Amino acid sequence: MTEIRWHGRGGQGSFTASKLLGVSVALYGGKYALAFPSFGPERRGAPVLAFTRIDGKKIYDRSEIRKCDFIVVLDETLFSESFFDDLKENGRIIVNSADKEFYAKYDSKRITVVDASSVALEILGKPITNTAMLGALVAVSDIVDLEAVEKGMAVFLKGELLKKNIEVVQRTFLQCREAVS
């Protein structure tokens, strides 16, 4: 089972990214997926968690994910070195930051840094980084292919919003693939 934990703030779309991944995998990736949030009456800007589980068989466990294959951090102020303890063997953290040098002290096989905020601002005109981080996750994980994600996004997004978010996903996907190669 592949387990992903998403760290973001209310309004950044952590749960939406989790759902988009789940739909992409379930409808176009040939696997089962379960996406669910962990938040209460938090307001915009408060820390929130979302989770995605992916497996070749039906998934029933809706508990919070403690040991992760991937931890996706949409807002770098939520990053904690303790996240490395939460990774499974060969797990990876993907963090949104413009300051790649700060993260250079960590093992590059365990962390990927992408400036998702700049990509989102450039293309969407807003610092909503969920689809940018989804593109980065797909690039470093091979959980599902990019085409499946684009099709999955069309389930929830339409028109110009879909077009722009596909561009965001493609841009961060390519940036991360180039960085990993």
Return the SS3 of 72: strand
**This prediction's pTM:** 0.94
Answer whether 169's CB lies under 8 Å from 153's CB.
Answer: yes
Domains of the chain: residue spans and CATH:
2-180 (3.40.920.10)
What order of strands is seen across the sheet that includes strand 32-38? 32-38, 47-55, 2-9, 68-73, 87-96, 111-114
* Dihedral over Cα of 154, 174, 71, 141: its sign: positive
Nearest to 50 by CA among 23, 12, 15: 15
- Distance in angstroms (rounded) separating the CA atoms of residues 147 and 151: 6
Q: Which residues 6+ apart lie within 8 Å of 110 measured at CB? A: 84, 87, 91, 92, 93
For residue 48, the cross-strand partners are: 8
**Tens digit of each residue's pLDDT, the chain (181 residues):** 999 999 999 888 899 999 999 999 999 999 999 998 886 656 777 888 999 999 999 999 888 899 999 999 999 999 999 999 999 999 999 999 999 999 999 998 999 999 999 999 999 999 899 999 999 999 999 899 999 999 999 999 999 999 999 999 999 999 998 876 6
pLDDT of residue 12: 86
Which two tokens mark 101?
Answer: 């040098």
Output the pLDDT for position 181.
60
Quote the CA–CA distance of 132 and 20 in Å, as a whole number.
12
Residue-level pLDDT at 40: 62
Q: What φ, ψ does residue 123 adopt, rounded to 5°?
A: -90, -45
